[in-house]
A and B are shown apart, each in its own frame.
Chain A
Amino acid sequence: MSEKEKITPGEFLSQHIYDIAAYAGLIVTFILFLIFSGSRLSYNMATVLQAASAYSIIALGAVFVYSMGYMDVSVGQQVGVYAILMIMITNAIGGTALGVIVGFVVILALALLCGAFNGAVAVWLKLPSIVTSLFLMFFFTGAQLLLMESTGTNSISIQATIKPADRNLYNVMLIAAVIIVAVSVTYFFKFTKLGKYTRGIGANEMTTAQCGVNTTKWKVIAYMAFGVCVAIGSFIMLTRTGSAGKGTGSGYAMDIMICLILGGMPLSGGMKSKVSSALVGTFTYVLLTNDLTTMGVDLNMINFVKAVIFIAIIMVTCRKKDAVLPR
């Protein structure tokens, strides 16, 4: 008999309590969703998909960063600037498909650059990564305001068609985008050095470095991988409204963090980090909002209820002995 077969139910529960809690949360929110959506079930499914798609793509990319025990608080402002830039570039090229492609390539390049900056500067200056992302957050906040000031409007709209007129087709497009990104991230996270080393850095950076891993290089690559997902997520978010303004993307950084924690991602990173945390957490988060709405909770009270549930999850997953979240 192997070691695995000797595991008792109690030990299994002990080892997988966080995963079980995350999946249970998703299942409960989904059951409530089915019960309370009533006649608007198909509409609500599309709504959940639309709201979750951009979050899940960005959260999938964030898995690389969070698995190292780092975080990036500049995501929201990056999303805002990328959306505005994409619109401006597309419109400047006449609202053509070429404009959309050029716009996306530009924001992708910028996202990669920011990823490299975040990863490299934090290492070179020996700063916590959150400090460099704070710098980027302030930089992009200013850039977003300046870009919108230059337009002289509160909101700008893209002149190209980036969203299928058919709602079902659009939903299929979103599902496809999420699946492609999820499969890609899973591959890189589970089957390549990138995932192995980022988890290793999260678990114990010193040990990982002493094993001969160039941690600086892999940190930069991890942040750049996140940048790719931020660029894709920004585009997906832009397809929802076709417009952007001074406040576009605000709150994304916190939402992504909540999604990952709801999905069971340890804030301290490490070997227990999982790609599934991004998807499970994002859909739990979005379904929870939808459930509370359809259950008749005052819309202004929803944030309070979500906060209470979030605190409950922190209380459950917090590891008392180390005073840190599980890793």
Chain B
Amino acid sequence: MKKGLFRKISKKVSAVILAGAMAVSIVGCGGGNASNGSSNPADSGTASNNAADTGSAPAVEGKKCTIGVAFYTDTGFAVDSTKAYLESLSDTLNVKFTYTVLTQTDEAANLTKIQELISSNVDGIICTMDLGMPSIIQECEAAGVYLGGYLCDYDTSYNTAYDQVFKSEYFVGTATDGQNPDDVTIGNTMLDSLVEYNERNADAPITHVSMAIFPVWAFPAQSTGAEQFVAAVGVYNKTAETQITVDPLDEESDVLAFAPIDTTYFAKHADSQAIISFAAGSAFVYPTMVQAGVDSSMKLFTTGFDGGEDANFGTTGKGTYQQTMVTAPESITYPLVLLLNKINGVSFPDQPAEAERVSSAQYVINSDEDMTKFQNSCFFTKDASKAMYTPQDVLNMTAYGNPDATYADLKAILSTMTIDSIK
């Protein structure tokens, strides 16, 4: 009896030890990942080698701190390049970065994710989603942790919880992925790209286009952009030799409920030669174009880059893509610098009283030449050495790293991140 019990218990203890060993090994892997990319002068509290590489030491060394970055997805060019860029800044800025992934539909889950970041002793958080933000800001206030936005216009909070979010001293502002809903230029940009294409292809210009957008409740700027595009085409047609026809938005087929465009789209827009997709065309439009066999006959002007678009861009491959646009990962410097200022207890002399949302310039890729430039960017290569701003540049943007730095300069930097700025 006793022998049997001993055997039973020893088996269970062995099971626990084995599982524990597995858990510890995974913990070890996790720890390794967390410190990946940081070769550790930060730990000893010294300035970085990167600063020395640039030939100038920082004016003031920032506090050693940890910043959590909450992404909307766990992978992809935008996420990977942003992580690579942040890790390159780690030593010079004396910052350790830690990452998590939010959900796109569950506020409570997002709150828990933010609470987990706070529990892991972060000093600041960069959040790429606006879901459950009032309660998230309350958590930040309770824990004394600052929060900034990136790749998100925080439109829900801006319109429904402005006082709670934008007036909170713990919210530093957000760098929007492209234009804010009240600062839209994407419609004009799309027309510019279309006209540029027609000038390059004067013998076979595009004269009839249709559009695609995400629902207005999710991306109001896209709906505004579509209206702007139609209006801009109207103005253009008054003087242009080559007239352009735009099919009006069809609620059923042209508004994508975060699902691929339906093949009926092509029947409804039978005369369309190109799709102007304000929605992410690589993921939601192009696959259906291939499926419907129109990827050779129709062109696609769209936002976003998921990888592989370059194989059919411009004069390459089937030439389906004729324009795409993305936001530079370096635009994360806006919330990062503001967070670092807060953590270091300094602010710009012209720092606004309330947090702002600032539109980021975008890489607008219109031609083969633009694509070649883009392929050398930090976004495409995920190589931080290709970034527009070095770690020392970013340190010089902070109020503690450069006494002459201003908020106006920081905002202006967001407007410089265009295709022509790529090294």
Cross-chain contact A305 with B5 (CB below 8 angstroms): no
Cross-chain contact B12 with A301 (CB below 8 angstroms): no
A-B contact count (CB 8 A): 154
Q: What residue of chain A has the Cβ atom nearest to residue B160's Cβ?
A: A157
Cross-chain contact B117 with A154 (CB below 8 angstroms): no
Instruction: Tell which of A37, A155, A251 touches B156, judged by Cβ atoms closer than 8 Å.
Output: A155
Show 20 A/B contacts (Cβ-Cβ < 8 Å), sorted by A.
A13-B5, A17-B9, A43-B118, A50-B115, A237-B108, A241-B108, A245-B106, A248-B105, A250-B109, A289-B116, A292-B27, A293-B119, A296-B34, A298-B33, A299-B100, A301-B26, A301-B27, A308-B23, A309-B19, A315-B12
B-chain residues with CB within 8 Å of residue A296 when the two chains form the complex: 30-31, 34, 120
State whether A44 and B119 are in contact (beta carbons under 8 Å apart), knowing that A154-B217, A154-B218, A300-B99 are contacts in the complex. Answer: yes
Instruction: Tell which of A38, A247, A305 touches B26, judged by Cβ atoms closer than 8 Å.
Output: A305
Does A295 lie at the interface of the complex (its beta carbon under 8 Å from any beta carbon of B)? yes
State which of B131-139, B184-192, B244-252 sits at the interface with chain A.
Answer: B131-139
Cross-chain contact A13 with B135 (CB below 8 angstroms): no
Q: How large is the interface on A (under 10, 10 to 19, 20 to 34, 35 or more residues)?
A: 35 or more
Chain B interface SS verdict (over half) = helix
Min CB–CB distance A22 → chain B (angstroms): 13
Most chain B CB atoms below 10 A, which of A17, A43, A295: A43
Cross-chain contact A312 with B16 (CB below 8 angstroms): yes
Instruction: Tell which of A152, A153, A298, A309 touches B30, judged by Cβ atoms closer than 8 Å.
Output: A298
Cross-chain contact B20 with A40 (CB below 8 angstroms): no
Q: What residue of chain B has the Cβ atom nearest to residue A237's Cβ?
A: B108
Q: Cα distance A249–B118 when bound, in Å?
A: 22
Residues of B within 8 A of A (CB): 1-2, 5, 8-9, 12, 15-16, 18-20, 22-23, 26-27, 29-31, 33-34, 74, 98-101, 103-109, 111-113, 115-121, 131-132, 134-135, 142-143, 156, 160-161, 215-218
Min CB–CB distance B410 → chain A (angstroms): 29
Q: What residue of chain B has the Cβ atom nearest to residue A154's Cβ?
A: B218
Most chain A CB atoms below 10 A, which of B20, B113, B143: B143
Q: What residue of chain A has the Cβ atom nearest to residue B36's Cβ?
A: A298
Question: Closest 5 A-B residue pairs measured CB to CB?
Answer: A247-B105, A312-B19, A298-B30, A247-B106, A301-B30
A-chain residues with CB within 8 Å of residue B119 when the two chains form the complex: 37, 40, 43-44, 47, 290, 293-294
A-chain residues with CB within 8 Å of residue B31 when the two chains form the complex: 296-298
B-chain residues with CB within 8 Å of residue A213 when the two chains form the complex: none
Min CB–CB distance B173 → chain A (angstroms): 21
Cross-chain contact A47 with B105 (CB below 8 angstroms): no
A-chain residues with CB within 8 Å of residue B215 when the two chains form the complex: 152
Chain A interface SS verdict (over half) = helix
State whether A246 and B118 are in contact (beta carbons under 8 Å apart), knowing that A46-B142, A298-B30, A298-B31 are contacts in the complex. Answer: no
Q: Cα distance A244–B111 when bound, in Å?
A: 12
Cross-chain contact A155 with B5 (CB below 8 angstroms): no
Q: Cα distance A305–B26 when bound, in Å?
A: 7
Interface string of A3-45 (1 = CB under 8 A from B): 0000000100110010000000000000000000111100110
Cross-chain contact B19 with A293 (CB below 8 angstroms): no
Most chain A CB atoms below 10 A, which of B105, B143, B161: B105
Given contacts A17-B9, A243-B134, A312-B20, 6 further A-B contacts (CB under 8 A): A51-B115, A294-B121, A296-B120, A298-B98, A299-B120, A300-B100
Does A179 lie at the interface of the complex (its beta carbon under 8 Å from any beta carbon of B)? no
Min CB–CB distance A60 → chain B (angstroms): 19
Within 8 A of B (CB), among A254-289: 289
Cross-chain contact B23 with A301 (CB below 8 angstroms): no
Cross-chain contact B2 with A10 (CB below 8 angstroms): yes
A-chain residues with CB within 8 Å of residue B19 when the two chains form the complex: 308-309, 311-312, 315
State whether A154 and B156 are in contact (beta carbons under 8 Å apart), knowing that A294-B120, A308-B19 are contacts in the complex. Answer: yes
Q: Cα distance A15–B131 when bound, in Å?
A: 48
Q: What residue of chain A has the Cβ atom nearest to residue B101's Cβ?
A: A300
Does A242 lie at the interface of the complex (its beta carbon under 8 Å from any beta carbon of B)? yes
